[in-house]
Amino acid sequence: MSVVINEVSDRILTVTINRPDKLNALNPEVMEGLAAAFESARGDEAVGAVILTGAGEKAFIAGADVTIFRTFTPVSARAFARKGQALLDTIETLGKPVIAAVNGFALGGGCEVALACTLRVASKTARLGQPEVNLGIIPGYGGSQRLPRLVGKGRALEMLLTGDMVSADEAWRIGLVNRVVEPAELLPASREILKKILAKAPVAIRCVLDAVNAGLDMPFAVAEDHEATLFGLCVATDDMKEGVSAFLEKRPAKFTGK
């Protein structure tokens, strides 16, 4: 039985971590399956967007397989963290929108995976947190960096220092998730968001993702220059001409990605 299931429909790839009996905890096999799925999605023209979720109703990803921690040395632990960071960087910089459909516990590495996604849609039953301090460690997959960038330094430090979980509604209040929906609506709501995005100009979508993701790590003046360059690239596309013409002619645009 595959621990990562991939299904494509209407240009949306749904990636499901399939270890419900282990609350979809991350282990080397899951990490390898996710890496393969996202690397394949990057170059697949049939895939315009991705939904990442967990099997069952209890967990998105309940964290890492903690038993491996007993075997770590400082060197092997750093390598473990860097390998996970590389995977999450791949998700974040895919060039295509990725929604984390959070269907239950998203803790530790699971919360970090959700943070690397473009958007997060949570079931009302979801619980999110970075409880690493309870194990005497800190996040290793970028959580200490992405969380404050998303919710602000103060709220991030409270979560990181207490190790407390937050409810779906609290996660929405602090900006950790974009929407909270009934459990039965989690995947349909995620698909509706992606369908709306996929109806827009593909080059512009890629450029928005690039402008935001790259710009957050640049000095403001450099980020503005990067934005201006991407704006210039968009102006050279057929999609820009079509979008402007459709707007002026009061009709829906028909974008081609060129």
> Of the residues 32, 45, 92, 112, which is catalytic?
112
Tokens of 72: 């770590």
Token pair of 97 as six digits: 């929108």
Going from the C-alpha of 240 to that of each of 58, 96, 162, 212, the distances in angstroms are 44, 19, 48, 20
**Measured between alpha carbons, how far apart are the two ends of the chain, in Å?**
40
Cβ contacts of 42 within 8 Å, gap of 6 or more: 90, 94, 95, 96
Rounded-to-integer distance, Cα 77 and Cα 193, Å: 37
Structure tokens at 38: 């996202």
Identify whether 132 is a catalytic site residue. yes
Give strand pairing partners of 123: 181
Quickly count: other Cβ atoms within 10 Å of residue 242's Cβ. 16
Whether residue 242 lies in the annotated active site? no
Rounded to whole angstroms, how far apart are CA atoms 122 and 100?
Answer: 8
Of 7, 45, 92, 132, the catalytic one is 132
Tell me the pairing of strands 4-9 and 12-17.
Answer: antiparallel
Question: Residue 83 has which token pair?
Answer: 């390998």
- For the chain, state the CA radius of gyration: 19
Catalytic residues: 112, 132
